[in-house]
Structure 1
């Protein structure tokens, strides 16, 4: 997408459509602690932002530690319950998607039921319908390009004409590996105490912005 508007916009969900990253990392830290593993919220953000839950188990296996069999179920239950009570949309996102004139969809590392709940709780679900694609649908999650290429294929759009909106290093890397343009978004609560602009620019984002009201500004 060298010039002009894209033919497709792919939104990540967590941290782009919904302000969920701090909530989910808090849940992860709590459930790990209950299983005897110490991990701060800040460490969770550094290690797993934009990654699937499979990456959590892999991280500990590589260090010779095995999480309890029920860990992922307990984590999922905690996250879904917390989202149902406290999840909020990213400010301004409803206005952005309402005004879009090009096709758009979601491609998320989260499980499909978590994405669906997130969009339902925040009132965003009607915008996206069934155009929800998740890491469960591909062999390799972010930072591999598989998910974004899968979504573009389903939407029947050339990856080179696709714009991705991402908030994580792994997501930015995945979009670039897919040959797509990627804008980094740093307006989520998890970037209040971190230099998100430097983090996502360093990962290769073509542009970084902090407010949805600036979505097309200087684009």
Structure 2
């Protein structure tokens, strides 16, 4: 059996393969403003950050304030792309089907985005009434508040929960809250996660083995 009583999944890059899609939209918007950046740059610098942090980075790149409605523009464009292109992370459905302990999702994205992406990938059924968004509480990773809120709502202490994250900011948030955290490294572009995560893994299908569940 696993020593953990509850699993808290990040959404983007852990449940759904949204990072390349969302970051490409952000690159397009940034470049329209004169940033001249690539998707690789975005994945290295924007991944895991709050939207405000990304907007501030773009502002510095272009040397001027970004439009007041930049997030609204981003949400509209990215939601359409997600509907057309998003896929679940390979193997995640099998993992969720096999879990015999409670689990939930805690993400930096708005709840509307989380629900849209889970619906588009056929995962929403696993997370009914178990969605926790940083936007709801106004606190963003690496602040651990969203994980602490999720754990408390699910009925567990941080030490009883395991967080699954794919960004260094998310890993730091979990550690800041007193959680163990497994880093999913399939898109760890700067090889950052092994330095801080409790454990790392590169294929979702091996997560049950790491948890040492008996089925």
TM-score normalised per structure 1: 0.90
1: CA distance, partners of 2:71 / 2:185: 28
Q: Please say which of residues 166-175 and 55-64 is displaced more in the overlay.
A: 55-64
1: CA distance, partners of 2:36 / 2:134: 26
- The answer to whether residue 208 in structure 2 is matched with residue 209 in structure 1 is no
2: CA distance, partners of 1:122 / 1:170: 25
1: CA distance, partners of 2:87 / 2:176: 30
Pairs aligned (count): 210
2: CA distance, partners of 1:176 / 1:15: 19
Residue 218 of structure 1 deviates from its aligned partner by 4.2
- Residue by residue, what CA displacement relative to the aligned partner does 1:139-160 show, whole Å, maximum 9, x if unpaired? 3201111111111111121011
Residue 87 of structure 1 deviates from its aligned partner by 0.3
Residue 28 of structure 1 deviates from its aligned partner by 0.4
- The answer to whether residue 16 in structure 2 is matched with residue 36 in structure 1 is no
Other-structure match for 1:53: 51
Q: Please say which of residues 63-72 and 111-120 is displaced more in the overlay.
A: 63-72
- Residue by residue, what CA displacement relative to the aligned partner does 1:16-42 show, whole Å, maximum 9, x if unpaired? 001111111111000111233333212
Query: Structure 2: any 5+ residue segments left out of the alignment?
Result: none
- The answer to whether residue 185 in structure 2 is matched with residue 186 in structure 1 is yes
Check conservation: 1:139, 1:146, Cα contact below 8 A: no
TM-score normalised per structure 2: 0.91
- Residue by residue, what CA displacement relative to the aligned partner does 1:29-77 show, whole Å, maximum 9, x if unpaired? 0011123333321221122211221212333566763111221111111
Other-structure match for 2:143: 144
* Superposed counterparts of 1:1-219, under 5 Å: 4-60=2-58, 65-187=64-186, 190-191=187-188, 194=189, 198-202=191-195, 204-219=196-211
What SS class does the counterpart of residue 216 from structure 1 fall into? helix
What SS class does the counterpart of residue 209 from structure 2 fall into? coil
- Residue by residue, what CA displacement relative to the aligned partner does 1:133-185 show, whole Å, maximum 9, x if unpaired? 11102232011111111111111210111100000000000000110010001
- Residue by residue, what CA displacement relative to the aligned partner does 1:194-214 show, whole Å, maximum 9, x if unpaired? 35xx31012x10111111110
